[in-house]
Amino acid sequence: MSPDTLVSDKKQAEARQPAKPLETTAAKLKDLTARRKQISLGGGEAALKKRKKSGRLNARERLDLLLDPSSFQEMYQHRKHRCTNFGMERKDLAADGVVTGLGAIDGRPVCIASQDFTVAGGSLGEAHGQKIVEMMKMSLKCGSPFIMINDSGGARIQEAVDGLNSYGEIFYHNVLASGVVPQISLICGPCAGGAVYSPALTDFIIMVRGNKMFITGPEVVKSVTGEEISAEQLGGADTQATVTGNIHFIADSDEQAFAICRKLLSFLPSNNLQDPPSRNTGEVDLTEIPALDKLMPDSAREAYDVREVIRLVIDGGDFLEVMEHWATNIVIGFARIDGNVVGIIANQPLVMAGVLDINASDKASRFIRFCNAFNIPIVSFVDVPGYMPGVNQEHGGIIRHGAKLLFAYSATTTPKITVILRKAYGGAYLAMCSKSLGADRTGAWPTGEIAVMGAEGAVPIIFRREMEQAEDKEARRQELLDEYRVKFGNPYLAASRGLIDDVIQPRETRRYIAMSLRALQSKRDLRPPKKHGLMPL
Ligand code: HXC
């Protein structure tokens, strides 16, 4: 340590000590009350007023709104920075710019950190980062979800490498906690530069409109690549929700983001050793849903909204859709069936006929991995014409992205229930949790078509010469199409091979799944020991 640093440290210490020792107990108690009050003011009364005027909530108001009333217990509020650069030794930063502690959501404990922009712009220095890391360690120790409310100018510039090191430790603990406790990031303020990577390492990001996330802002983009773009277009919440797929939920306000966070947690266990919170009564609900019988159009070319199937099958139509605005050709989300939490993955015929492309494969495979990590059974609704053809897709790596889906489903050991609604063609049939990828139950509606491909694609390939030689080519083509459809345009060939375990009336779908979930409650699936598998890139 240089002599300069020692002198600065001394000044800093003096600035924080009362002039005289406190001699009475009453004075010490009073001192604590005063300290607490001072800390609760964050960047000070003026800063809080300014913030209120701007319509933004402060760090503590956010905790009050997100957590159960009176459940917050602050930890490390007296922690101080020890930076002496650029006059920092004279700056006493309340709670060092991040409020950390324990709380509860719906009565279940959570560990939480809320960055305080009124204190040095919520910037992250050594102590600030260490406080967050302490809460992550606590989260691991207690088996409680970790929630981080982001509102920060990024690495505290004056603290140089000390802040960076704390970021590194946060990333490290994000990874340690991954698959052990659910981790949720709320983006309620700026989140730029390397700071974006902690949220990216967590399980879910909920972003409030009006905020931005990017590695480098528009000015740097312009200077490096010459591209001109607004900050909103580059990294605003709508861009993140619809273009990049970086976030999972978008909210119009902090309050809405907190409601999403609470709802999300209502589907999740607190850690990987628990089952998700069940509302099952012990009885199996055998209700039939007649409306499902009328849902499938007669024509295989006609689209329908698979969310309608989901809504009818699940309890109370209560579906928390994840990544609702990105890769909309596949639908993922949480729901309950007969009181049991399930993760739902469904091809969406309304968008690109429900084809599997790069983004859909990425979206679904990550979600499957999450469900597997947290013991959430997976229900897949299949209506998929195949993997997406095209130069962009091939050159974009559909092979390796598509393989993620095969990997994720195959590696999953939680109960896997598949219902084939209509098309289940080729590799995409396999990829949507076929029996061969380890599905525990595979049912199909009578409208199911399980084949290498549809009739229109198959007939010209296998009967090209025969069609060319026919006198009436169109009539022969129609005959061959019919022949193909009779053979393969149904679920019975697959059923005859035991690749599906039953053909069910659509109205029976809910009870089929409910009974399967009951049977699979005690499922065991032991795998060969290994350090970890290698998910395709
Ligand atoms: C120290 C910071 C700070 C920072 C803001 N402040 N960011 N202090 N380090 N990174 C302080 C300001 O000095 C100011 O202090 C107060 O916070 C409020 O900031 P303003 O600029 O007045 O607020 P606003 O106009 O709302 O602008 C917010 C902002 C801007 C867009 C976030 O502050 C900004 O651009 N900050 C720098 C962002 C940045 O480049 N960060 C480093 C990224 S690199 P006073 O005392 O005046 O109130 C990085 C690497 C991480 O983060 C790597 C991890 C691997």
> Hey, how many other C-beta atoms are within 10 angstroms of the C-beta on 271?
19
> What average pLDDT score do residues 454-472 get?
91
Name the residue with the closest Cα to ligand 1, atom 1. 156
CA gap 40, 357 in Å, rounded: 50
Residue 441 near residue 435, CB atoms below 8 Å? no
Q: What is the pLDDT of residue 6?
A: 37
Domain boundaries, the chain: 54-267, 290-454+489-522
3-state secondary structure of 326: coil
Residues designated as active site: 193-194, 427-428
3-state secondary structure of 147: strand
Residue with tokens 């090209």: 464
The CATH number of the structural domain formed by 290-454+489-522 is 3.90.226.10
**What is the distance in A from the centroid of ligand 1 to the CA of 452?**
56
> Could you read off the pLDDT of 132-154 as tens digits, one per residue?
999 999 999 999 999 999 999 99
Q: What is the pLDDT of residue 515?
A: 96
Name the strand (E) or helix (H) holding 512: helix 509-520
> Could you read off the pLDDT of 159-193 as tens digits, one per residue?
999 999 999 999 999 999 999 999 999 999 999 88
> Could you read off the pLDDT of 204-221 as tens digits, one per residue?
999 999 999 999 999 999
3-state secondary structure of 348: coil
CA gap 202, 370 in Å, rounded: 11
- Ligand 1 is surrounded, with C-beta below 6 A, by 120-121, 123, 153-157, 164, 167, 190, 192-195
Q: What is the pLDDT of residue 286?
A: 87
Name the strand (E) or helix (H) holding 99: strand 98-105
Q: What is the pLDDT of residue 282?
A: 86
> Could you read off the pLDDT of 474-485 as tens digits, one per residue?
999 999 999 999
pLDDT above 60 for 462? yes
3-state secondary structure of 109: strand
> Could you read off the pLDDT of 54-107 as tens digits, one per residue?
999 999 999 999 999 999 999 999 999 999 999 999 999 999 999 999 999 999
Mean pLDDT of the chain: 95
Fold matches, 54-267 and 290-454+489-522: yes
Please give the CATH topology (third level) of the domain spanning 54-267. 2-enoyl-CoA Hydratase; Chain A, domain 1 (3.90.226)
pLDDT above 90 for 11? no
Name the residue with the closest Cα to ligand 1, atom 48. 120
* pTM listed for this prediction: 0.95
> Could you read off the pLDDT of 317-334 as tens digits, one per residue?
999 999 999 999 999 999
Residue 207 near residue 187, CB atoms below 8 Å? yes
CA gap 65, 205 in Å, rounded: 18
Exposed (0-12), middle (13-18) or buried (19+): which is 276, by Cβ within 10 Å? Answer: buried
> Hey, how many other C-beta atoms are within 10 angstroms of the C-beta on 525?
12
Percentage of the chain beyond pLDDT 90 is 93
Q: What is the pLDDT of residue 17?
A: 65
Q: Which of 90, 96, 123, 211 to mutate to test the pocket of ligand 1 (most atoms within 8 A of CB)?
A: 123
Q: What is the pLDDT of residue 194?
A: 83
Full 3-state SS string of 373-440 = HCCCCEEEEEEECCECCCHHHHHHCHHHHHHHHHHHHHHCCCCEEEEEEEEEEHHHHHHCCCHHHCCC
**What is the distance in A from the centroid of ligand 1 to the CA of 347?**
43
Question: Minimal CA–CA distance to 62: which of 261, 209, 254?
Answer: 254
Name the residue with the closest Cα to ligand 1, atom 9. 156
